[in-house]
Structure 1
Amino acid sequence: MYIIIFIGNGIILHIIRIDPVLHQPMYFFLAMLAFVELGVCASTIPTVLGIFLFGIHDISFGSCLLQMFSMHSFTLMESGVLLAMSVDRFVAIYSPLRYTTILTIPRITGMGATIALRSVMLMLPLLFLLKGLPFCGRNTLTHSYCLHSDLIKLPCADTRPNSILGLFVVISTFGLDSLLIVVSYMLILHTVLGIASGAGRWRALNTCVSHICAVLVYYVPMISLSLLHRFGQHLPPLLQTIMANAYLFFPPMVNPIVYSIKTKEIRNIIVRTLSRKRNEV
């Protein structure tokens, strides 16, 4: 699974870097998505591989906090990048002639920096609140990595401030981002319905298919996991573990495949490269 994720996202990053044809806003945002998905997976490697390959079931408190901070920061960034990609699709469809003049490299860089800064600044208070809590007795996590929702069940102290702050972070990132993504697609649909040609409407919508898939494979497992943590205490722990792994590993494994199949430029480059390698052999 890790091999598929790292190879798939690594290929996307490499293709975008080396091919000047792909030096466009859409592909810069796709590169951001591939990068943060690699970051999410890299954050979980120490504990996941430690458990399944070496049978190591212990982690220090400091290491667990660091993993939680890193993993959640990258997942928040992923949500922000998906929002930025929906803005990119709206601009491309609403104003195609001004697409590259609106989404310039400085603006794209600023959007990426804002996404990263927002994620880090929202996660730091959660980190320091957890660090100041007392932990008593046997501290056992239900997942193979350190989730904030898992960690706040362990302290022998009042964790309501942590829960309230955690809820604020969720609403101000995942909640707001998903709402704005829906609004952007409502505007896209309104714009597309104004296109006279049926073929033109189809072409415009077809450019959004990959991003819609990325949004669904990101938010559906996340919402399902949140509902399980909130209402599924009576359900088997194995189900929660499966959903937690799907939430983290399914999007970075599927997105490179979807974009490689649905994006003509990337697909052509991959086919051309494979054909060249076959001819050399």
Structure 2
Amino acid sequence: MDPSTKQNLDVILKTFLSGGIAGCCAKTTVAPLDRVKILLQAHNKHYKHLGVFSTLKQVVHKEGFTGLYKGNGVQMLRIFPYAAIQYMSYEQYKKLIKTFSISPHFVKLLSGSLAGLTSVLFTYPLDMVRARLAFQVKGEHMYQGLVDTFRTIILVEGGFKALYRGIIPSILGMAPYAGLSFYSFETLKNLCLDRFPDLLGSPCPQNTGGLVLTLPAKLICGGLAGAISQTVAYPLDVVRRRLQVSIMLPDSHKYNSGWPNTLYIVYKENGIWHGLYRGLTVNYLRVMPMVAVSFSTYETTKKMFGLDTGADR
């Protein structure tokens, strides 16, 4: 094998593993808040009248501490390939798009958007199954685990295409979310290393970047990137979740006309704050540490693998 090709494959494998590890660490960190978000977004009848912290407390009361992690096993099966593909494809898209000599800002934004879309298309069925399992409450289970959920959706809801219910709003929401997330993080990272190299940077002589962000700086930049991107994309995330679990709702027939109609129903019945942005508070509490841990773990793991994590101009 040609040495340059071998080196390229080595970098791709290392970024793939770094991304997968980062995703698993990040999602496990916020799994309880992820569960609460799904319960609130889709108006589960047991929790729809509660707030974030009262829902956390009630879940523990009704289902025990492990109830906070319901669906997290499936989440790990989904998130490793999801995050691995997202981070790996981001690096590859960025390398490809740079050859067109366009603005570096646009390169990061477009690369992030394409990376998000790529990972969603490959892993969406597992996200669907995970949402169904997380929406269940103790004593009212429709599904008995991963395999049963897959089988039931395919046999009862219209074949394999049923596993992609809600994919359109997911794609429409993922493009700005992933694009802004990567763009915001890299822009903030560059800003920190440019303006405050002594305070927020640390030397890393084994790579070509010279300086890398300190861990606290990575966490702050990641948290801010998550907040910015989530604010823009959140209403479509609500619609995606409502479509994914609609069959488990008493009024499921209302959501059979596609995502635009679902967006309208959510807005008409619950308004903007209590509908399209319902659960946003818990999402900030969850997405900021999640993205912070994800980017920090990714950059740290890349550093361990000997890959450059310095500022990208």
TM-score category by the smaller chain? 0.3 to 0.5
Task: Using structure 1 for the length normalisation, give the TM-score.
Answer: 0.32
Task: Using structure 2 for the length normalisation, give the TM-score.
Answer: 0.30
